[in-house]
Structures are given as structure tokens and as C-alpha cells.
Chains A and B, each alone.
Chain A
Amino acid sequence: MLLRQRVVQREIDHWQDNGLIDRSTADRLRSDLEGRGGNVRVVETLVVMSAMLFAAAILIFVAANWEAIPRLARCAMLAIVILAANIGGASQMVRGNRHVAEGLWIVGAAGFGASIALVGQMYHLSGDAAGAFLIWYVATAASALAFSSRALSAVCVGLAVSWLAAEASQTFSIFSTYAKANHLYPLLLVGAYLVSFRTGSVLARHAALVALVFYFIWLFDDWGVLFAVGLLIVSIGLFVVAIRMPDPLDRIVRLNGGLPVHLLLYAILAAAMLHSEWYEGVELAALAAVLLALLVGVLLVGGRESRAVRGLVYTAFAAELSFVYVKMVGSMLSTAGFLLVAALAFAAFAFVVSRFERRFAVEAAT
């Protein structure tokens, strides 16, 4: 919040200096801005962070398998933690202390996960760490729904990722032996996304969309170039739609206008996948040319509306050029290929610059 406040503060100064608003209006705006307060957020974050530390302490305590406390007593302790944290959270929520409630619910969810781990430890169950995460996910999603807990809906995304990691480590590696993509993972993310509609956690939605990247990598390993091409086309297409019709789309996904950035990230991921297959000779040159052209297109379509999109485009552009440069130098390819790509890139860049200058000129004139 503080960053946004500073930006608005500067705008108010600017309006006052230019005589757009008078002194008293400016002062009232300033005091309203200060009244919103930026400190509450910090406190909330600290409470949730402390809850996460406490949760980790419970989990590691169970893992330590300390003999001084009999296992059954540890089991009972965890049952008390679950009850006390959930009930305490509910009563704090009723009293209006949302962040304390969220913190307690996180502790409650950790208590449940720790209980599953403890049972596994007590009975020496060797299998299925992934199964444990799945049960944990379901229980946490149920709690998130019951309590409308923002924090727990974000925890669900984390548990989905943990499930994927456990599943992948059980089968050695995502990238080698177990190439078949596991389609339960996106379902878990969709589940967390739906839960977040009830809890109202935008953070959980962003996290779910970022976490989807792991699934894409898995699919790429499974289906190869075809998937990367598809991902590139679909995400660029959706990007254009998301920029052109922000309102109806955002009413569905409810990301506060963040959807285009996610789609652009997917497109950049797809480009990286394609480069992992096509990294030399004509293939590299052709792909680099197409990607640079796409970046220019993205900049023209969405660069004006979003600073994040502009930043991503510049980063991707620099990465693309560096990749091409390193590859060309490293593989001692014919100079012609390098010149071709460089020429295309520079032409594209010049095109962008001239288009922008013209646009700025038009805007300045009107």
C-alpha cells in the first residue's frame, strides 16, 4: 500500500502545483490518504508469518521423533492443537480480528498435516508421501471453505505444489523416468482457485496461476514441441483477448487485471521451451525472428496499458538477444545466420521505436 500512497501523494502535489486543485482540497486528499494507513498490512503479514513459523515448528517437532514424549501423547497434543487453533480462530474472527484468526487457522492446518506425518511415523508406513499431501490438501480446502479463510486458500496452492513435488520425487524425476504428465495437479490448482472465490484471496489465484507453470513443463516433457507451440499460440491469443476485453474477463477470473501478465509469462515459458529444442542454425534464426516479432506485437497491443507487460517484454527481448548472441558465438555458426537474425531484430526494434514515437506524437498533439 505504501508505494501506491507515495505515487498518489506525488500526483496530488503535481495537481496542486499546476493549480488544478486548491490547497484545502489537496490537504483533505492527503489526510484521507494517510487515514487509510499502511501499518495494518505490516502487522497482518507479521502475524501470518509468525503463524507459519509456529506451523513449521510443529511439523519439525513431529519429525524429530523425540522419545521423551510417548507417541500417543504426541497424537493427543496434535488433536488439541487442531481443536484449539480452529476454535480460537473462529472466535477471533467473530470478534473482528481477521489476521489473528487467519494465523490460528494456519496453525490448525499444520496440526492436521503433522498428525498424518505422525501416524505414518508411528506405524512405519513407508509409502505415499504424495497421498498424505493430497489428504492434507482436501482437509485444508474444507477448512478454507468453512472459515472463508484467505490464508488457507493460499496454503492449498502450496499443498498442491508439495503434492506434485512428492509425486515427482517418488518417481525419481519429473524430467526422466516419469514423463507422463499427471493431470490431477491442474485439478488441484483449479480447486484452490475455486475455493479462493469464496475466501476472496487474490493472492491464492495468482499463486495458482504461477504454480500451473510446473504442469506446463511436465506437459512439454510429455508431448514435446507441439505442446510448446500450442501454449505459445493459446497464451498469446488469450493475451490479446484479455487486453482488448479486460472487464468481462476479469469478472470471471477476478485477478484485478493481472491476467495478461500471467498469459505473457506462459508465452515466454513456451518460447523458452521452443528454444530448448531449436537452438542452432536456421531453426534458431527462424524461431528468434518469430519471437522477436511476437514481442513487438505484444508491446503494441498491451504495452501502453500495463507497466508489468512493458517490463516483461523488455526482459524477454534482452534474454532473447543474449541467447541468440551466445549461441551464435558458442557454436561458431556461419556469419550469415547471425547477421540475418541481428538485422531482423534491429529492424523490429526500430519498427517499435518509430511506432511509439508516432503514437506519442499523436497523443501530444491532441
Chain B
Amino acid sequence: MTKLPRFVLVAVAISLLQIAFIGWMVAGRAALLRDGTDVTLAVEPIDPRDLLRGDYVVLSYPISQLRGDLAPRGASGGDTIYVRVGPGENGTFQPVAARLGSPPEAALGDGEIDIRGTVRRSEFGSVHSNFGIERFYVPEGAGRGIEEDMRQDRFEVVLAVGKDGSAQIRSLLHEGRPVYSDPIF
């Protein structure tokens, strides 16, 4: 009988470690939502499905593709990129500067903030990057409807951005109202 408790204790320990890890992931994201600065970006759509996480809407932002003077030179896939955004017309933020490896040198202007991402590819002077905020997961079947609405209506995403530049989707806004919101801490 002495063997039973020990083996079961191992099982408890393994399970708690796994659950603690999940908890740590949740806590990190929740902290970002709680403490992060809100940034609103305009979005453009599509609608595929992920095997484990289910249906989602693909989101693309003004910062996803930087052109002309904004695009940092010499970018290649895998580089870290910081894009500085500031409040623009009709309440959404617009990119104002970008730099590879570290945030732009100039001091942050009023309401400006840096978002950190990874360069996906760079071609013909435009730089395509990911910021970990390109997907919005929705209940099964709901994606198609949102995608259709996106063609005609105004959609925006509210982000929570941390001091280190990591970004987290807070909500997806359809004509200013949140789509499918369910408070998570």
C-alpha cells in the first residue's frame, strides 16, 4: 500500500505542474490586459479555421505592411521590429515610425506607443510583419458573418499594449460596438 500514495502523488505533482503552467500563461495575458495601454487600429478581414483553436477571423492592420519612408531598410524575415503608433484621424492609431531591433530613438510623442513584432518578409520596399494579434477566435460558424460585415462596415480592434511592446487583443469593434465579448479578467 505504500506504493499507491507515492505513485498517485507523482500524478498529482505532474498535473499541478501542467495546470500551473497554463495558469502562468493566463496570468501573463491577463496582466497585459489589466495594465496595458489601449490602442485602436483599423482592420481588414478573411475567414479560415485552425485545427486546435477553431474558427477565427484573420486581421490585418496598417502596421502589418509598412511602405515607403516608414519601412525600415535591410529588414529580413525573423527580425524584431518596433512600430511606433500615434492617434490619427477618426480615433484610430496610425504608424508614425518603425525600427528594427529596438524602439525608434526619438522620444515618444503625446499618446504614442511602440508595438513589438516580427518581420515576416520584406519585398519591393515594403515590410510585412506579425504582432501576435492577427487572429480573432470566434464561436464555430460565426466567422463567416463577421467576414461579410467587414466588407462594408467599419471594424476596429482595441489592443492592450505593454511597456515592452507586446500587444494583446482586448476586443473587436463593429461600428464602435464590441463583437462577442466575454470578460476574461
- Shortest C-beta distance, A88 to chain B (Å), equals 8
**Interface 0/1 of B39-58, CB less than 8 Å to A:** 00000000000111111100
**C-alpha spacing A290/B123, complex, angstroms:** 45
In the complex, what residues of B have CB within 8 A of residue A353's CB? none
Contact A94 B3 (CB under 8 A): yes
Is B26 at the interface (CB under 8 A from chain A)? yes
Within 8 A of B (CB), among A144-200: 146-147
Is A89 at the interface (CB under 8 A from chain B)? yes
Contact B25 A83 (CB under 8 A): no
> Which of B66-74, B97-105, B132-140, B144-152 is near enough to bind chain A?
B132-140
Contact B130 A59 (CB under 8 A): no
Within 8 A of A (CB), among B156-185: 168-169, 180, 182, 184
Contact A93 B7 (CB under 8 A): yes
**Interface 0/1 of A108-129, CB less than 8 Å to B:** 1000111111111111111111
**Interface 0/1 of B1-23, CB less than 8 Å to A:** 00110011011111111110110
In the complex, what residues of B have CB within 8 A of residue A119's CB? 22, 25-26, 29
**C-alpha spacing A139/B52, complex, angstroms:** 17
Contact A86 B169 (CB under 8 A): no
Query: Which of B19, B134, B169 has its CB near the most chain A CB atoms (within 10 A)?
Result: B19
A116-B12 contact given A123-B169, A124-B135, A129-B50, CB 8 Å threshold: no
Contact B50 A91 (CB under 8 A): no
Chain A: which residue is nearest B131 at the CB level? A126
In the complex, what residues of B have CB within 8 A of residue A91's CB? 4, 7-8, 11
Contact A139 B18 (CB under 8 A): yes
**C-alpha spacing A62/B55, complex, angstroms:** 11
In the complex, what residues of B have CB within 8 A of residue A108's CB? 15
Is A32 at the interface (CB under 8 A from chain B)? no
- Shortest C-beta distance, A322 to chain B (Å), equals 37
Interface of chain A: mostly helix, strand, loop or mixed:
helix
**C-alpha spacing A196/B25, complex, angstroms:** 29
Chain A: which residue is nearest B54 at the CB level? A63
- Shortest C-beta distance, A261 to chain B (Å), equals 32
Is A98 at the interface (CB under 8 A from chain B)? no
Contact B10 A139 (CB under 8 A): no
In the complex, what residues of A have CB within 8 A of residue B18's CB? 82, 112, 115, 139
In the complex, what residues of B have CB within 8 A of residue A118's CB? 53
- Shortest C-beta distance, B147 to chain A (Å), equals 16
Query: Which of B16, B21, B134, B168 has its CB near the most chain A CB atoms (within 10 A)?
Result: B21
Chain A: which residue is nearest B171 at the CB level? A124
Query: Which of B3, B8, B56 has its CB near the most chain A CB atoms (within 10 A)?
Result: B8
In the complex, what residues of A have CB within 8 A of residue B184's CB? 71-72, 122-123
In the complex, what residues of A have CB within 8 A of residue B11's CB? 86-87, 89-91, 146-147
Contact A64 B50 (CB under 8 A): no
Within 8 A of B (CB), among A3-48: none
In the complex, what residues of A have CB within 8 A of residue B137's CB? 65, 120-122, 124
- Shortest C-beta distance, A75 to chain B (Å), equals 7
Contact B15 A59 (CB under 8 A): no
12 interchain pairs, CB-CB under 8 A:
A62-B52, A64-B140, A65-B54, A66-B140, A86-B14, A86-B15, A115-B18, A119-B25, A121-B53, A122-B29, A124-B137, A126-B135
- Extra pairs beyond A65-B55, A91-B11, A114-B52 (7, CB < 8 Å): A63-B54, A82-B19, A83-B19, A90-B10, A122-B29, A129-B52, A147-B14
A-to-B contact residues, CB < 8 Å: 59, 62-67, 70-72, 75, 78-79, 82-83, 86-87, 89-91, 93-94, 108, 112-129, 132, 135, 139, 142-143, 146-147
Closest 9 pairs (CB-CB, A-B): A63-B54, A90-B11, A126-B135, A126-B134, A117-B52, A124-B169, A86-B11, A121-B137, A123-B29
